Chains A and B, each alone.
Chain A
Amino acid sequence: MTEFEFKLEQAKSAVTRGKLSRRDFMTFAVAGGLSIAAANSLFIRAARAQAKPGGHFRVGLGHGNTTDTFDPATWAHGMNFAWGKGLTGAPLVRVDPKGGCVPYLAESFEPSDGAKKWVFKIRSGVTFHNGKTLTADDVVGTVNYHIGPDSKSPGKAYLAGVASVKADGADTVIFELKGADADFPYNLTNYQFPILSIVDGKPDLSGNGAGPYVLDGFEPGVKVHFKRNPNAFAPGNFDEVTQLSILDPAARTNAFLAGEVDFIDRADLKTIDLLKSAPGTEIYNVSGYQYYNAPMLTDVAPFDKLEVRQALKWAINRQDLVDKVLFGYGKPGNDSPIASAMKFAFNPEPVYGYDPDKAKSLLKQAGMENLKVDLSAADAAFAGSVDCALLMAEHAKAAGIEINVIREPNDGYWDNVWIKKPWSHCYWGGRPTADAMLTVSLAADAAWNDTRWKNPRFNELLPLARAETDDAKRTAMYAEMQQLVHDDGGQMVLMFSNYVGALSTKVAHGDLNADNDHDGGYMYDRWWFA
């Protein structure tokens, strides 16, 4: 931080506390080299940064299903993932806007035994919505619900490293891990892990949690209504919150324009410029951890040949995909799955650009000129997948590669196409840590290793980096792993997509989380009406 930046931060906080006038702030900021417009918008943000309670926050979401329930093991989309993060539920830890892991229901957490054992102190005096007091037993029961032998929870995969969990008194929980994990607490920030109330050894799945809002009405697939929890240990700002499921993008936009909702997610990128110019609209545009990729099965011909994989990587114009599929709301990928905003992100060299000649010569080296491959695509993989595949086929033509695009049915795509067909489309939502991101999709034994890539060096480094507590050494190891994925892997990371939505200028917010949409899922208790 330069001296000016430091002073600017101080000035901003003075504005927030009402200690500095607009004129003084502007004089200072403009003298420091900011444009008047930039200084003005900084002032407005800082002046509004004082959160205040009240109001009814209504959101229109492009998610929701009539089969939704309040059982965290079934949560899978953008309407219900926030339930566990800061609506009805409260997890032990949350992610802050800088990407750090901070205590929430836990008061503190500490590793010991070289990060093989983690001790969580639970906040005292916290009650569930039905009045029951939270104890360490609730935490243990919740974790066991997800990792038990009969578990149907996808959360099981995140806690695969847990050997045992036990309570030590009423306010301490001890996790024993199978192997050291310096990032272990991050796993518990996942939306599947709000602490559930355990009664007679069974979790209460009715939506009764310890979170800042109380469930007040639930029509699956239509509408969910919440009221502020007056007894919350960290209350939300809004008096009431309503989530509406509006799956049709045009209807969502109209509902926003007509003032029926204050926020919509998944804005229609084709018409975003019109939405931008609507009065009282702020575009929510956050460059996230989510990416779209085209995994090749590295044990199936012709993708088992390194030259073929690399040739295909050079034969695709990723910037063109960002411009046409994401309408510019994203960044081209360079085959490392770690978004540049994340800790330990590394941009491997050479950066894959569009170079059909290089692709051609690589194929020639392998004796595979006039390569013909099938690419399976469906909009279930990501919105615009089929168009994207057709663009890829067009790009690859210049390198003498014929890509035959197969349009697969959306129904059952994850069952019958993904990791089954040699080359397909896929998307990966953000994971809070580099370790989680690499483990979930690239570890040799991962259930979702969608390239069936089993690089010995990569798999040797993965547990070492996880256990390492020295940041400099970890950085080097993660860089090497990302280089390996880039050079040798079958994951063609096409692009990182932004989270794009729209919110009313009546709603104020601080810095936004990038780990997931909706301010990381925390907008319901972090945002407020200005």
Chain B
Amino acid sequence: MHPVLRTVLQRLGLGVLTLLAVSVIIFSSLELLPGGFAEAILGQSATPETVAAFNKSLGLDRPATTRYVEWVTGVFTGDLGKSFAGAGGWRSDNVRTVTSIIGPRLYNTFFLAALTAIIAVPIALALGLLTALYRNSWFDRVCNALTLTTIASPEFFVAYILMFFFAVKLKIFYPLSTVNADTPFLEHVSRAMLPAITLTLVIIAHMMRMTRASIIALLSSPYIEMAKLKGLTGRQVILNHALPNAWAPIATVIAFNLAYLVVGVVVVEVVFVYPGIGQLMVDSVSSRDMPVAQACALIFAATYILLNLLADIVAIVTNPRLLHPK
């Protein structure tokens, strides 16, 4: 069997096991939270009677193990279950499936992550290569200082500054990123622009510095010296000789940042009112809408597993020693 295929299958198998372990952790930690859906929804106005009625209609009066087994078997058959919200109603047409709640928001999250990646990854790679090429020049120093400043500022602060200048003062972009399924593609792009720029500023430093560092580490190796002695230009040395060997660490850090874009942007979502999955997860945990919270957590875990797998594949494919083992 081809080594790449074998690795992929192996890792997918391990991924499923990891997900199973994650599901136990998610379920039991949500179970440990104080209070339940009924108390969260009713808040101050909860009475023992109404709470009991809620729990009964949601099936929460049954033991936790039964509910866990039900949930996991459901997930394996592709059924993520029903949200508690609306499930308390008398009529079945008010019931919302977890898939129908998560679907559009997951799309929005992937949209924003993709938009950010399209902007951030090329800029980060280009800056990383350029700063490696012209290292210790004023250009290198300015780039480093700027990107470190933006990563060191809290996301919400960067977001407020951008919102104030680009939306309130200059009125170039929308201050709110409220989009839905009917939003035309171009308006979606334009509405998601400020969050995307905010996130770009947050993730660019990490990727750029990793690129720069791995290229610089390679530049001192003997084969690069040989390439220089052959009379190649700096650009040829970096693009044709250093970069192919630097892909593995760069891919890892890009994968890590992409995973962050999918699972960790709740602050930016809240500030710009962008209906993504991060806010949904926070909302559903605080209102104890367990089926939704569990599904979100599983999706996050799966995202990490898949993106790491992707990074490993890139590492194998770009390294002949790993691709053709003896």
Contacts and interface: CB of A to CB of B under 8 A. Distances in A.
A152 interface: yes
Contact of A414 (B46, B53, B180): B46
B163 A415 contact: no
Contact of B286 (A71, A203, A244, A411): A411
Interface stretch (B35-43, B203-211, B214-222, B297-305): B35-43
A68 B85 contact: yes
Interface string B69-94: 00000000000000111101111011
A76 B43 contact: yes
Given A66-B284, A204-B91, A221-B279, A412 B50 contact: no
A412 B35 contact: yes
Nearest to A409: B34
A150 B270 contact: no
A481 to B, nearest CB: 23
Contacts of B167: 254, 258
Contact of A202 (B46, B91, B273): B91
Contacts of B163: 251, 254
A255 B176 contact: yes
B164 interface: yes
Contact of A76 (B42, B89, B174, B289): B42
Interface string B246-274: 00000000000000000000000011110
Contacts of A248: 156, 270-271, 273
A73 interface: yes
Given A152-B57, A221-B279, A416 B176 contact: no
Contacts of B85: 66-69, 74, 220
A530 interface: no
B45 A152 contact: no
A246 interface: yes
Contacts of B16: none
B190 to A, nearest CB: 14
A221 B275 CA distance: 8
Contact of A415 (B46, B54, B57, B160): B46
A108 B156 CA distance: 53
B178 A223 contact: yes
Contacts of B34: 409, 411-412, 415-416
Interface in A249-300: 250-251, 254-255, 257-258, 260
A221 B277 CA distance: 12
Interface in A231-259: 244-248, 250-251, 254-255, 257-258
A153 interface: yes
A375 B99 CA distance: 43
Contacts of A476: none
Nearest to B52: A152
Contacts of B286: 411
Contacts of A220: 85, 101
Contacts of A447: 47-48
A157 B48 CA distance: 12
Nearest to B48: A447
B44 A251 contact: no
B308 interface: no
A272 B132 CA distance: 49
B225 interface: no
Contact of B50 (A152, A203, A204, A250): A152
Which of B83, B90, B287 has the largest number of chain A CB atoms within 10 A?
A: B90
A250 B88 contact: no
A153 B50 contact: yes
A418 B48 CA distance: 14
Question: Do most interface residues of chain A lie in helix, strand or loop, or is the interface mixed?
Answer: loop
B194 to A, nearest CB: 11
Contacts of A129: none
B35 A411 contact: yes
B287 to A, nearest CB: 5
B182 to A, nearest CB: 8
A151 interface: yes
A447 B45 CA distance: 9
Contact of B86 (A69, A157, A411): A69
B283 A258 contact: no
Nearest to A220: B85
A88 B89 CA distance: 18
B168 A257 contact: yes
A73 B42 CA distance: 9
B141 interface: no
Contacts of B101: 66, 220
Contacts of B42: 76, 154
Contacts of B84: 67
A154 B46 CA distance: 7
A448 B90 CA distance: 27
A205 interface: yes
Nearest to B273: A246
Contact of A416 (B35, B164, B289): B35
A156 interface: yes
Given A65-B287, A73-B88, A154-B42, A223 B180 contact: yes
Contact of B94 (A206, A251, A257, A411): A206
Which of B47, B86, B171 has the largest number of chain A CB atoms within 10 A?
A: B86
B33 interface: yes
A152 B53 contact: yes
A351 interface: no
A447 B46 CA distance: 9
Contact of A152 (B33, B44, B88): B88
Contact of A245 (B88, B273, B292): B273
Given A152-B57, A245-B273, A448-B47, 17 more contacts: A66-B85, A67-B283, A68-B85, A71-B86, A71-B89, A145-B90, A152-B38, A154-B42, A156-B49, A219-B275, A251-B175, A251-B272, A260-B175, A411-B33, A411-B286, A412-B35, A414-B46
12 contacts: A66-B280, A67-B84, A67-B85, A71-B86, A154-B45, A248-B271, A248-B273, A251-B273, A260-B175, A415-B34, A416-B35, A418-B44
Interface of B: 33-35, 38-39, 41-50, 53-54, 57, 83-86, 88-91, 93-94, 101, 156, 160, 163-164, 167-168, 171, 174-176, 178, 180, 270-273, 275, 279-280, 283-284, 286-287, 289, 292
Q: Which 4 A-B pairs have the closest CB atoms?
A: A67-B85, A412-B34, A154-B45, A412-B35
Interface of A: 65-71, 73-74, 76, 145, 150-154, 156-157, 202-206, 217, 219-223, 244-248, 250-251, 254-255, 257-258, 260, 409, 411-412, 414-416, 418, 426-427, 447-448
